[in-house]
Amino acid sequence: MLSCSCTLVLGFQAPAKTMTFDAPAPALFDRALVPGRSIHVWLPPGYHQQPRRRYPTLYVHDGQCCLSNDEGGSSGGGGEGSRWDLNCALSRLVTAGEISPAIVVMLDSCGGGHLLDMDLPLGPEMPPVPLLRRRWLEYGDNPLGRKYIGYVCDVVKPAIDAKFRTLPSPEHTSAMGSSMGGLCAFLSAWRRPDVFAHAACLSPVFQLPLITEVALRRRLRPDARLYIDNGGDTDSRKVPLIELADGFDPVWQLGAWYLDTSLQPGVDGMCAALRTQGVPFKYHREAGGRHNARAWGGRVERPLRTLLPPDS
């Protein structure tokens, strides 16, 4: 059995509660490639007061950066700019009736969250590989990335469905992430439409092979809700080189400055590929937006409204 540590966040003002449960273990070889990790589960207000109600489910990558400090969030090495405060946005929107109440599953990335955290082992029994960051591989469009998506679909999701009152069908299941996590969210709906119907991709890392595949094939479900956004330089506003609110880590300041601008050609290419296939999607350009969790958290209400419309 694979043990997963789960943080249950019971509504906006309720204190955090931590519990541990066992998920079915994958095959031994898969376990070495994709080890377990902490999973934070946010339950909507009223979950315990309505024991017969079932809820749609949203899976979010880089879960260690999603929660606010008072709910156990981690800065991930990037200072104050490395938290989404997702639990606060969810509570605001649910209370206002702007989104459907949902169970939100936030999966930590494996190996830490700092950009320089690169010397990582491929598995618990395997030696570190210099200058290789596991997160880039797990969230990427490659064999290990497919193993990770399979782990989420075939190990984590069945455990969540068994433990919580979810609506388990694909039309009620979404994925969301940022940067490489945004790519992983798209791949979840693209590679496994039998599990994920909807995806939100914030500042995603889209590259030519996947863009070409999307332009030539249509694999997304007909009922898919798809959201894509990006920040970066525009004619009207440039990304500030330094943002004091993002902390004083020079590596993160540099990455937050240039990455969204450098990702724009891939985002444009993916949007063109989706239009070629007649796939509807929502796109937002955040003029001057930086590439970090503070920026994503500042606009996270947009994808939440797309993925979780009222009465969805």
For residue range 36-63, list pLDDT tens digits in order.
778 889 999 989 899 999 999 999 999 8
Ranges under pLDDT 50 in the chain: 1-2, 4, 10-23, 71-81, 112-131
> 153 lies in a domain?
yes
> 312 lies in a domain?
no
Nearest 10 degrees: CA dihedral of 146, 152, 157, 160? 180
Q: Report pLDDT digits (tens) over 228-271.
A: 999 999 999 998 887 767 766 665 666 687 899 999 999 999 99
Q: Which domain holds residue 228?
A: 2-307
> 252 lies in a domain?
yes
- pTM for this entry: 0.86
The sheet with strand 173-178 has its strands ordered as 16-23, 2-10, 39-43, 103-107, 57-61, 173-178, 198-202, 226-230, 282-285
> 260 lies in a domain?
yes
Query: Which pLDDT does position 33 carry in this prediction?
Result: 75
Q: List strand residue ranges (DSSP E) for 11-153, in order.
A: 16-23, 39-43, 57-61, 103-107
> 164 lies in a domain?
yes
> 285 lies in a domain?
yes
> 246 lies in a domain?
yes
Count of domains for the chain: 1
> 150 lies in a domain?
yes
Measured at the CA of 35, the angle between CA 170 and CA 263, to 5 degrees, comes to 65
For residue 290, what is the domain's CATH number?
3.40.50.1820
